[in-house]
Amino acid sequence: MTTTDTDGNERTNLRFLPQDQPVTGSGCDYPELIETPSGSWTADFGRFYGFVSEDEVSQFVDSQEWADLIRLANSLQRTQ
């Protein structure tokens, strides 16, 4: 998820979102907590990343760190 703060700076992070959540919107539209049977958890997954150019974004998306985050997120399973 990428948000733009009031100063125009973009911040990107991996975040848990409900499946029916729109892919665009205001940062305040996204939930801060995810409710699970075992309690409430923060929706943020990891740290925020700041990029100064599209080239930096591309380099990060091609990095091992990003691949590891995606693999971890994909390994999570919903339990009832």
Per-residue pLDDT of the chain (80 residues; tens, 9 = 90+): 777 778 877 777 777 776 777 767 676 677 777 776 777 766 666 667 777 788 988 898 899 988 987 887 777 766 65
What is the predicted pLDDT for the residue at 27?
66
The pTM assigned to this predicted structure is: 0.53
C-alpha distances in angstroms, 80 versus 44, 68, 71, 77? Answer: 22, 26, 22, 10
What is the predicted pLDDT for the residue at 15?
73
Number of domains forming the structure of the chain:
1
Look at residue 74 and tell me if it is in a domain. yes
* Residue 60 · residue 49 · CB < 8 Å: yes
CA distance linking residue 1 with residue 36, whole number of Å: 21
What is the predicted pLDDT for the residue at 65?
85
Structural domain range at position 73: 50-79
Q: Quick one: residue 18, left, alpha or beta (phi over 0 = left, psi -120 to 50 = alpha)?
A: beta
Look at residue 26 and tell me if it is in a domain. no
Residue type, 4: T
CA distance linking residue 10 with residue 19, whole number of Å: 23
